[in-house]
Amino acid sequence: MKELKLMKGNEAVAEAAIRAGCDGYFGYPITPQSEIMEYLMYQEPYKTTGMIVLQAESEVAAINMVYGGASCGKRVMTSSSSPGISLKQEGISYIAGAELPCLIVNVVRGGPGLGTIQPAQSDYFQSTKGGGHGDYRLLVLAPSSVQEMADFAGLGFELAFKYRNPVMILSDGVIGQMMEKVELAEQQPRFTEAEIRENTPWATMGKPNDKERNIITSLDLDSHKQERHVAHLRDKYLEMEENEVRYEEINCEDAEYLIVAYGSSARISQKAVELARAKGIKVGLFRPITLFPFPKKPLLAYTNRIKGILTVEMSLGQMIEDVKLAV
Amino acid sequence: MSDITKEQIRQPENLVYTKTKLLTDKALSYCPGCGHGTAHRIVMEVIEELGAQDNTIGIAPVGCSVLAYEFMNIDMQQAAHGRAPAVATAVKRLLPDRYVFTYQGDGDLAAIGTAETIHACNRGENITIIFINNGIYGMTGGQMAPTTLPNMKASTCPYGRDVETMGNPLKMTELIAQLPGVHYVTRQAVHTPAGVRKTKKAIRKAFDLQKQEKGLTFVEIVSNCNSGWKMTPVQSNKWMEENMFPFYPLGDIKVDGQLIK
Amino acid sequence: MTEEIIIAGFGGQGVLSMGKILAYSGIMQNQEVSWMPSYGPEMRGGTANVTVVLSDERISSPIINSYDTAIILNQQSMDKFVSTVKPGGLLIYDPNGIIHHPERKDINIYTIEASEAAGKLGMMKIFNMIVLGGFLKLKPLIQPEFIHKGLEKSLPVRHHKMIPENEKAIDIGKDLIKAVQLV
Quote the minimal CA–CA distance from C32 to chain A in Å.
8
> Is there a contact between A4 and C27 if contact means CB atoms under 8 Å apart?
yes
SS (H, E, C) A7-28: EEHHHHHHHHHHHCCCCEEEEC
To the nearest 10°, the Cα dihedral for B10, B23, B224, B178?
-140
Contacts of A178 in chain C (CB under 8 A): 34-37, 62
Sign of the dihedral defined by the CA atoms of residues B31, B36, B38, B44, in that order: negative
From the DSSP assignment, how many helices (H) and strands (E) are in chain B?
Answer: 12, 10
* CA-based R_g, chain C, Å: 15
The pLDDT of residue B246 is 98
Work out the minimum CA distance from C60 to partner chain A, whole angstroms: 5
The pLDDT value recorded for residue C43 is 53
One-letter amino acid for residue C38 of the chain: S
A205 touches B: beta carbon within 8 Å: yes
Chain A residues with beta carbon closer than 8 angstroms to that of C39: 31-32, 117, 173, 177
User: How much is the ipTM here?
Assistant: 0.93
**Residue ranges of chain C whose pLDDT lies below 50:** none
Closest CA to A143 of A132, A151, A154: A151
CA terminus-to-terminus distance, chain A? 42
Contacts of B55 in chain A (CB under 8 A): 206
Q: Check residue C131 and give its pLDDT.
A: 97
Distance from the Cα of residue A41 to its chain's centroid: 22
DSSP assigned state of C158: G
Minimal-distance CA residue of chain A relative to B71 = A215
Judged by a CB distance cut-off of 8 A, whether residue B56 touches chain A is: yes
pLDDT tens digits along B107-166? 999 999 999 999 999 999 999 999 999 999 999 999 999 999 999 999 999 999 999 999
What DSSP designation does C6 have? E
Domains A4-183 and A247-326 share a fold: yes
CATH topology of domain A247-326: Rossmann fold (3.40.50)
Separation of alpha carbons B145 and B148, rounded Å = 5
* pLDDT band of A112, cuts 50, 70, 90: very high
Task: Please state, as a whole number, how many other Cβ atoms lie within 10 Å of the Cβ of residue C76.
Answer: 16
- Reduce the DSSP state of residue A275 to 3 states and report it: helix
Alpha-carbon distance of B53 to C152, in angstroms, equals 55
Contact between chains at C63 and A268 (C-beta distance less than 8 A)? yes
Chains touching C (3+ CB pairs < 8 Å): A
Can you give the pLDDT at residue B53? 96
Q: How many Å apart are CA C52 and CA C18, to the nearest integer? A: 10
Q: Per-residue pLDDT tens for B208-235?
A: 999 999 999 999 999 999 999 999 999 9
Mean pLDDT score of chain B: 96
Please report how the helices B84-94 and B114-122 are oriented relative to each other, as an axis angle in degrees rounded to 10: 30
Helix and strand numbers, DSSP H then E, in chain C: 6, 7
Report how far residue A18's alpha carbon sits from residue A36's, in angstroms, rounded to the nearest whole number: 11
Check: CB of residue A247 under 8 Å from CB of residue A290.
yes
Which letter, b or e, does each residue of C98-116 get, where b requires 16 or more Cβ atoms within 10 Å of its Cβ? beeebeeeebbbbbbbbbe
Predicted local confidence at residue C45, as pLDDT: 58
**Residue B100 pLDDT level (bands cut at 50, 70, 90):** very high
- Residue C75 CB coordination number (10 Å): 16
pLDDT in tens, A246-285: 999 999 999 999 999 999 999 999 989 999 999 999 999 9
B95:A72 CB<8 A: yes
Read out DSSP for B33-88?
T-SHHHHHHHHHHHHHHTT-GGGEEEEE-SSGGGGHHHHB-SEEEEPPTT-HHHHH
Question: Are the beta carbons of B57 and A204 closer than 8 angstroms?
Answer: yes
- Listed in order, strand segments (DSSP E) in chain C are 2-10, 32-37, 47-55, 67-72, 85-93, 108-111, 178-181
Are A180 and C37 within 8 A, CB to CB? no
Residue A229's pLDDT is what? 97
Query: What residue segments make up the domains of chain A, in order of their start?
Result: 4-183, 247-326
Mean pLDDT of A299-320: 96
A268–C61 C-beta distance less than 8 A: yes
pLDDT value of position A215:
97
CA distance A64 to chain B (A): 5
pLDDT of residue B241 exceeding 70, the answer is yes
pLDDT of residue B173: 98
Residues contacting B10, CB < 8 A, separation 6+: none
Rg, Å, chain B Cα set? 18
Q: Do B80 and A26 touch (CB under 8 A)?
A: no
pLDDT(B52) > 90: yes
User: So what's the pLDDT on residue C123?
Assistant: 87
| Whole-number Å distance between alpha carbons of A33 and A183 | 21
- Regarding the domain delimited by B34-259, which CATH topology (the fold level of the hierarchy) does it fall under? Rossmann fold (3.40.50)
Average pLDDT over residues A17-23: 98
pLDDT digits (tens, 9 = 90+) for B68-99: 999 999 999 999 999 999 999 999 999 999 99
Q: Is the pLDDT of residue A160 over 80?
A: yes
One-letter identity of residue B153? K
Does any CB of chain A come closer than 8 Å to the CB of residue C154? yes
In contact, B43 and B61? CB cutoff 8 Å: no
Pick the residue from chain B with its C-alpha nearest to A50: B94
pLDDT value at residue C63: 87
Q: Which chains neighbour B (Cβ–Cβ under 8 Å, 3 or more pairs)?
A: A
Classify the phi-psi angles of C97: left when phi > 0, otherwise alpha if psi is within -120 to 50, otherwise beta. left
The predicted pLDDT at position B1 comes to 52
Quick check: A69 and B86 CB within 8 A?
no
DSSP B27: P
Average pLDDT score over residue span A172-190: 96
CA neighbours closer than 13 Å in the CB half-sphere of residue A117: 15
pLDDT at residue number C12: 84
Chain A residues touching B56 at Cβ < 8 A = 206
| B95 to chain A, closest Cα gap in Å | 8
Based on the structure, what is the number of domains in chain C?
A: 1
Domain borders along chain B are 34-259
Bridging pattern class, strands C32-37 and A179-183: antiparallel
Determine whether the interchain pair C60/A178 forms a contact, defined as Cβ–Cβ distance below 8 Å.
Answer: no
Rounded Cα distance, A209 and B133, in Å: 33
Per-residue pLDDT at A197 exceeds 70: yes
CB contact under 8 A, B94 and A204: no
Residue C20 is part of which domain span?
2-181
Residue A1 pLDDT level (bands cut at 50, 70, 90): low
Position B2 pLDDT exceeds 70: no
Closest alpha carbon to C5 in C47, C54, C46, C42: C54
A282: phi then psi, degrees, rounded to nearest 5: -85, 90
Contacts of C59 in chain A (CB under 8 A): 180
Give me the residue from C34, C40, C61 closest to A180, CB to CB.
C34
- Do C and B make contact via 3 or more CB pairs under 8 A? The reply is no
How far is Cα C177 from Cα C130, in angstroms, rounded to an integer? 9
Give the CATH number for residue C177.
Answer: 3.40.920.10
Report the CATH architecture of A4-183. Answer: 3-Layer(aba) Sandwich (3.40)
Q: What is the pLDDT of residues A40-65, one digit of tens each?
A: 999 999 999 999 999 999 999 999 99
Contact B86 A62 (CB under 8 A): yes
Asked if pLDDT for residue B23 goes beyond 90, the answer is yes
Give the percent of chain B with pLDDT over 90. 93
CB contact under 8 A, A179 and C63: no
